[in-house]
Amino acid sequence: MKKCLLCQEKEADKTGSHIVPHFLMKRIDNQNGAKGRDKELGFVIGKLETKGYFGRNILPEDLEKIYGEVDEQLIENNDISLVVDHFFCSDCEKNLGNLESLYAVSLNKTADHDTTYNSIEKEGIGFLFWISILWRLSILEKCGIKLKEKEERKLRRILKKYLTDDNFVTSDEDLKNIGYKLIRAANYKQVPHTYLHCSGFNIRPYSIMVDEFILFFYFKTTYLKAMECTFYGSEILIKKAEYNTAFAPERILSIKESELQEIIQNLVNHIASLRMNEYAQILDQLHQKLGGKGKMDVRLKQKIFDNIAASEEPIGKKYSFENIRKIMVATIMEDN
């Protein structure tokens, strides 16, 4: 058995580890806001397709509503990528769980919008909590974010040192020059629901949306004065948010629900634009393979896009690439 990725000493014997704590993910992907574990019913939105996943406590009749016929292939291909086996040892898993329990209490604190508040009075807990998420997302390598190797090593060292002894040492070189900003739309109730999204392009700072929070993590304080960070229209909010380090209680900027909703809509529009561009390139290549020159006719492309949107396949299959490909081929044949 391989070694724990955190302590790198004990065997990675723990199964069912959550990369992002359940209390942040439950509204993103739990069935109808269910609070229990193993009730995931969510989607991973990629450039080419949308893939569904589900927890083991989802009833067959509920799966049928999403996927239509439930067969062995569907069950075998189910992958909840944020739940992993044999990444950590039992001790490190327990220590991460203790940290998450400490931080979860802070969600009960809120403030009026456009104000900054202390989320948790004990200094450094928020710092440890958010670097634990950033580090775990990076080592998973499936969420669109990957730290530089030296950054990943630094966060692992910090977690190993301080998860069981959070008396932060001011002279510790690993703790110097790094920190984060955090904004939150507390108890966000708008539709569409919240997301987990990591920007693969933002590294100064690294930027992550998870549920009602948006995290901006800096590995150098000089990045605070660098070129303005763009993250789906949150630039003004980033400037207002206070900078957090390991040596003070966490401070969060409380924002309006409408502000987070606008950011989410910008994200959705961005993803849709990326996907349409990918489809357009595929159609141009298909057009050329069939003997055409240049790009596929815009009218035919739009007809294909309209047919994709009008597909009556269950939502769990509608945006699979298999269904997209069938619609592309059928529409082209019908048009000829």
Residue 249 included in any domain: yes
Nearest of 217, 12, 24 to residue 128 by alpha carbon: 217
Query: How many domains in the chain?
Result: 2
Domain boundary among 196, 221, 255: 255
Using alpha carbons only, give the angle 245, 20, 72 rounded to the nearest 5 degrees: 165
Range of the domain at 279: 271-335
User: For residue 22, what are its two tokens?
Assistant: 């359940």
| H or E element at residue 234 | none
Backbone angles phi, psi at 103, to 5 degrees: -75, -30
Residues 104 and 227 both lie in one domain: yes
Q: What is the pLDDT of residue 129?
A: 97
Between the CA of residue 182 and those of 63, 242, 249, 302, what are the distances in Å?
36, 8, 13, 41
State the alpha helices, DSSP H only, in 145-205. Answer: 149-162
| H or E element at residue 296 | none
Residue 58 included in any domain: no
Q: What is the pLDDT of residue 9?
A: 96
CB 237 within 8 A of CB 255: yes
d(CA 130, CA 240): 19
Residues 164 and 246 both lie in one domain: yes
Residue 160 included in any domain: yes
- Helix (H), strand (E) counts: the chain: 11, 10
Residues 157 and 289 both lie in one domain: no
Residues 212 and 277 both lie in one domain: no
d(CA 313, CA 329): 16
Neighbouring-strand partners of residue 251: 118
Write out the chain's pLDDT in tens, 336 residues.
799 999 999 999 999 999 999 899 888 887 666 666 777 888 888 888 888 888 888 888 888 888 888 888 888 888 888 999 999 999 999 999 999 999 999 999 999 999 999 999 899 999 999 999 999 999 998 888 999 999 999 999 999 999 998 789 989 999 999 999 999 999 887 766 789 999 867 788 999 999 999 999 999 988 888 666 789 999 899 999 999 999 999 999 999 999 999 999 999 999 999 999 999 999 999 889 888 888 999 999 999 999 999 999 998 899 999 999 999 989 988 876
Residue 12 included in any domain: no
Q: How many CB atoms lie within 10 A of CB 61?
A: 8
Residues 103 and 227 both lie in one domain: yes
Three-state DSSP at 202 gives strand
Residue 62 included in any domain: no
Residues 120 and 218 both lie in one domain: yes
Residues 198 and 321 both lie in one domain: no
Residues 279 and 247 both lie in one domain: no
- Residue with the two structure tokens 């966060």: 155
Residues 306 and 219 both lie in one domain: no
Residue 235 included in any domain: yes
Residues 110 and 241 both lie in one domain: yes
Between the CA of residue 239 and those of 44, 55, 93, 146, 253, what are the distances in Å?
30, 39, 35, 24, 10
Pairing status of strand 17-18 against strand 83-84:
antiparallel
Three-state DSSP at 159 gives helix
